Structure 1
Amino acid sequence: MDSKFSIIKFLRWTVGSVILIFIAYVAILIGTTWPISEFSITNAGTFGDSFGALTSLFSGLGVAGLLATIFLQREELKLNRRELEETRKEIQLQSQTFHRQRFEDAFYQMLALYKENLRELSIRPHDGDSHRIFGIEALRYLITKFEKAWGKHKLHKFPADENERNEYLYTLVSTIQSVFVRQTRYVETLSSILVLIQDECVPRNGKETYWRILASQLTAYEIKYLFYQALISPDYTTLRNVMLQSQVFQDRLATLNLPDPHRNSFEVLWNISLPKRRNQFTSPLSSAQIKAARKSIQKRQKEASTIAQRTK
């Protein structure tokens, strides 16, 4: 825009200067030839030829004006191109905003549907019993039942021998299938949410944010139930992919009280490495401070116990 105004200003000054030069030239010419003693065609031709320099000047100015016009048109094209680019960016931004709003609407609607399916999830604790347990309590009952059933096998280590390992995996899968009732609608709703995040999330690097929102809605019982379903079911590839890709789900799995042999079984069956189990709670104290504090507490408790025995 500044260059455009500069050219217009230049043209104005040029035209004004040419007019002044023309008037001054005519005035000087008339002043030097006045008074005119004879009017003839020859003298008139000579007088007209004296304007040849001005004619060349006007021709040059005409070319300059043409160049200035071309430059102005080029600036106009640049401005139009810039406006088109800004319009295109604005349209893209509006499209992204619309897509994100549509994604978020679908995400929260499906999340609400997931919670509703969780509330409606139900099991019968005993065969033939009309009484049902719903929601989180149903999952807690199944997990407790599985832990008791698995404890009867007394398999506390993951075998290194291949044959023994196959027996271990067979026993584990059979126990899970015999205890855990497959809640298809509940699990499929969760899988649909994961697929939505995987395929439709904008921007792409925002997936972890929505995985974190989803994970914050899941209790430890739900995570355990989903872990064992993903362990035994080939259909739940989406669940296993999230366990592999999402840091927040890996953190949740790391803080769950899952037996290490079960984690090893998952890795062997699906070739997916799970994070090692770690304490859910962290302490601002160093390990040396914790160790010293424990020793001091144990020593004081021992002394108190000795004194109590002596007083008896």
Structure 2
Amino acid sequence: MNIDKDSNKIWILFLSISGVLILWFGSYWFIELKFSNYEQKGQIGDMFGAINSLFSGLAFAGLIYAIYLQNKEIKLQKEELNKTREIAEAQEKALRSQAESQNLSVFQSSFTQMLEIHFRLMDTYADEKHTGSQRFNQKLIRACTEDPQDFEKYILQNMDARMLRHLFHISNIIELILIEFPGDPKKQRIYISRLVGCLAYYLLYFIVKAKDLDYYKEIKANLELIIPSLGDLDKF
């Protein structure tokens, strides 16, 4: 297809040049045969000279018009490019907003699931006499009433290892919040406050007392983020 187009262009150029040459030689022979007097030939030559000037002027005007059309076309292309860029930016913004919405939806789903795991873990602490939350709270109350000097020793000796590891799950929930909103302290506080609202009183009390223990040194920074949302608990 492209070869045919190139071939057509070559033929058009060839025919145009041939037409000009034929017209030029034809005019020459016509003048030679028609007018034998050089004075008449000179007058005809002067007339052709005037026509040449006219055609030169027309060619110059055509050049100016072609430049004008080219500039107009360039402006139209720029406008189209600007519109295309605006459309692309709008699409990018919409996609970004959609991605952020999807990310938030995934985060909220993960946040809810991890809270559900928290309550399921509580259920696993049940025994024959108490529900999981009752038994866990009893252990927490007993630990929190221990002398501060014996606090760490008591919890390591008397609390179920799963109960001790429960704070690591709480820390994982906080870590999830920090990862989702790395540069947004306001949203971090909102979701940490929601987390605090789901935790039992004595679990929060236990976190305040246990966050400085060596056992929890790896998650101390995360646990301390709970403190601003505790209200009067931070005085214990």
Which residue of 2 is the match for residue 65 of structure 1? 69
Distance in 2 between residues matched to 1:221 and 1:184, nearest whole Å? 14
Distance in 1 between residues matched to 2:102 and 2:144, nearest whole Å? 47
Note the residue ranges of structure 2 that are not aligned, 5 or more in a row.
Answer: 1-42
1:223 Cα deviation after fit: 0.8
CA gap of 1:202–1:231, structure 2 versus 1, over 3 A, is: closer
CA gap of 1:52–1:228, structure 2 versus 1, over 3 A, is: same
Distance in 1 between residues matched to 2:141 and 2:167, nearest whole Å? 20
CA gap of 1:144–1:208, structure 2 versus 1, over 3 A, is: closer
Q: 2:48 aligns with which of 32, 45, 50?
A: 45
Root mean square deviation, CA, Å: 3.1
Q: Conserved in 2, the CA contact under 8 Å of 1:139 and 1:225? A: no
The one-character-per-residue Cα deviations of 1:206-241 (angstroms, maximum 9, x if unpaired) are 222211111111121111233344343434533x22
Distance in 2 between residues matched to 1:147 and 1:55, nearest whole Å? 100
Q: 2:232 aligns with which of 236, 252, 255?
A: 255
Q: 2:124 aligns with which of 115, 120, 124?
A: 120
Distance in 1 between residues matched to 2:166 and 2:91, nearest whole Å? 45
1:55 Cα deviation after fit: 3.8
Q: 2:172 aligns with which of 159, 169, 192?
A: 192
The residue identity in structure 1 corresponding to 2:80 is: E
Q: TM-score, normalised by structure 2?
A: 0.65
CA gap of 1:192–1:251, structure 2 versus 1, over 3 A, is: closer
Which residue of 2 is the match for residue 74 of structure 1? 78
Identity %: 17
The residue identity in structure 1 corresponding to 2:156 is: Q
The residue identity in structure 2 corresponding to 1:94 is: Q
Distance in 2 between residues matched to 1:222 and 1:102, nearest whole Å? 27
The residue identity in structure 2 corresponding to 1:255 is: D
The residue identity in structure 2 corresponding to 1:215 is: V
Note the residue ranges of structure 1 that are not aligned, 5 or more in a row.
Answer: 1-39, 124-130, 151-167, 257-274, 278-312
The residue identity in structure 1 corresponding to 2:196 is: A
Distance in 2 between residues matched to 1:100 and 1:67, nearest whole Å? 49
Which residue of 2 is the match for residue 177 of structure 1? 156
The one-character-per-residue Cα deviations of 1:232-261 (angstroms, maximum 9, x if unpaired) are 3434533x2234335xx3241x513xxxxx
Q: Conserved in 2, the CA contact under 8 Å of 1:107 and 1:193? A: yes
Distance in 2 between residues matched to 1:114 and 1:245, nearest whole Å? 18
The within-5 A match list for 1:67-216 is 67-122=71-126, 131-146=128-143, 149-150=146-147, 169=149, 171-182=150-161, 183-184=163-164, 186-201=166-181, 204-205=184-185, 206-216=187-197
Q: TM-score, normalised by structure 1?
A: 0.52
1:98 Cα deviation after fit: 1.7
Which residue of 1 is the match for residue 19 of structure 2? none
The residue identity in structure 1 corresponding to 2:48 is: G
CA gap of 1:50–1:138, structure 2 versus 1, over 3 A, is: same
CA gap of 1:185–1:217, structure 2 versus 1, over 3 A, is: same
Say which SS state the counterpart of residue 133 (structure 1) adopts. Answer: coil
More helix by share: 2
